Chain A
């Protein structure tokens, strides 16, 4: 088997049998659902700033219940003064995370975005009242697992499209192949 052939193989050989594939698929879909749920309550246009609730209330926990001093400084000096821009970034990034993980398209790229996003949430709210900080570590670990397992190759569009990307000489196809 050549290197190219090996790189386009479906992951069944590398990732074990049916139980492993089913578990990999369920982890990806479950994490996608979590991101979609997260996007659901980030309501524009003010994202809770006027009433002091919603995303604004949770973002302020980075200051009132500090987890990591540099992050607290960043939220106080950069995020809160530009809160609506930040709110849109959060809504769009969490919706995109849900969409791409649900599809299993460019999955490894989006899994890394998920790790970054989950880390930001963990640094913001894990010391807040009634929050269990371990939840966010689990979300980071789940996104890392999706990256490690290349979970979009199991029941996702990455698995359908990787052979086509591998045959293509285009930059986009090459990029998507690497990100899958």
Chain B
């Protein structure tokens, strides 16, 4: 397994874990609650406190997109990784458009912009680097 694929798998795995934590935090909320459940809400004074928050919908979208990235990385289907990256980019736009408003259907806060941006930029950077490596390898073997 290449270092790039391993990095894709780790990034996707972290996305799934964060999404599951978000789903647990939002378990008692409306499906599209504007004020989502906060991860580690009681740890306000710790650096991991109040980083992210999700409605159930926001958490499920995160899990689904990260799972698509995981499948793409595992089966080496670059298009799936890029689709997941695009989905996370749309989620980042959702934060910009809806955060702080009553139609905040993913229930997010500003920290979620960082998460979605990291997933989008990380996955697209790794997928493009993997494409470049594959093309170089094909040229070398020809």
A: residues with CB less than 8 A from B are: 30, 32-37, 39-45, 91-92, 94-100, 102-103, 105, 157, 160-161, 164, 167-168
Q: Is the interface of B mostly helix, strand, loop or mixed?
A: helix
When distances are taken between beta carbons in the complex, the residues of chain A under 8 Å from B109 are 40-41, 43
A91 lies within 8 A of B49 (CB): no
When distances are taken between beta carbons in the complex, the residues of chain B under 8 Å from A34 are 47
> Size of chain B's interface in residues, with CB distance under 8 A?
30
B125 lies within 8 A of A105 (CB): yes
Q: What's the Cα separation between A100 and B22 when bound, in Å?
A: 22
A/B interface sample: 21 pairs, CB < 8 A: A32-B114, A33-B51, A34-B47, A36-B115, A37-B47, A37-B50, A37-B111, A39-B114, A40-B109, A43-B99, A92-B96, A98-B114, A99-B118, A100-B121, A102-B114, A105-B121, A105-B125, A157-B7, A157-B122, A160-B4, A160-B129
Shortest Cβ gap from B140 to chain A (Å): 11
When distances are taken between beta carbons in the complex, the residues of chain B under 8 Å from A160 are 3-4, 7, 126, 129
* Residues 79-127 of B at the A interface (beta carbon under 8 Å): 96, 99-101, 109-111, 113-115, 117-118, 121-122, 125-126
Find the B residue at minimum CB distance from A43: B100
Q: What's the Cα separation between A102 and B129 when bound, in Å?
A: 19
When distances are taken between beta carbons in the complex, the residues of chain A under 8 Å from B126 are 157, 160-161
Known contacts A36-B52, A36-B114, A105-B125; can you find 6 more A-B pairs with CB under 8 A?
Answer: A33-B48, A36-B51, A40-B52, A40-B111, A105-B121, A160-B126
**Residue B30 interfacial (CB < 8 Å):** no
Partner of B47, one of A33, A99, A168: A33
Find the B residue at minimum CB distance from A96: B117
* Residues 29-62 of B at the A interface (beta carbon under 8 Å): 47-52
A161 lies within 8 A of B129 (CB): yes
Shortest Cβ gap from A59 to chain B (Å): 16
When distances are taken between beta carbons in the complex, the residues of chain B under 8 Å from A97 are 114
**Residue B133 interfacial (CB < 8 Å):** yes
Shortest Cβ gap from B101 to chain A (Å): 7
Q: What's the Cα separation between A40 and B48 when bound, in Å?
A: 12
Shortest Cβ gap from B137 to chain A (Å): 12
Shortest Cβ gap from B110 to chain A (Å): 4
Partner of B49, one of A37, A39, A45, A103: A37
Q: What's the Cα separation between A39 and B52 when bound, in Å?
A: 10
A39 lies within 8 A of B7 (CB): no
When distances are taken between beta carbons in the complex, the residues of chain B under 8 Å from A168 are 132
A95 lies within 8 A of B122 (CB): no
Q: Which 7 pairs from chain A and chain B are nearest by CB? A: A98-B114, A39-B110, A99-B118, A95-B113, A99-B117, A40-B111, A43-B100
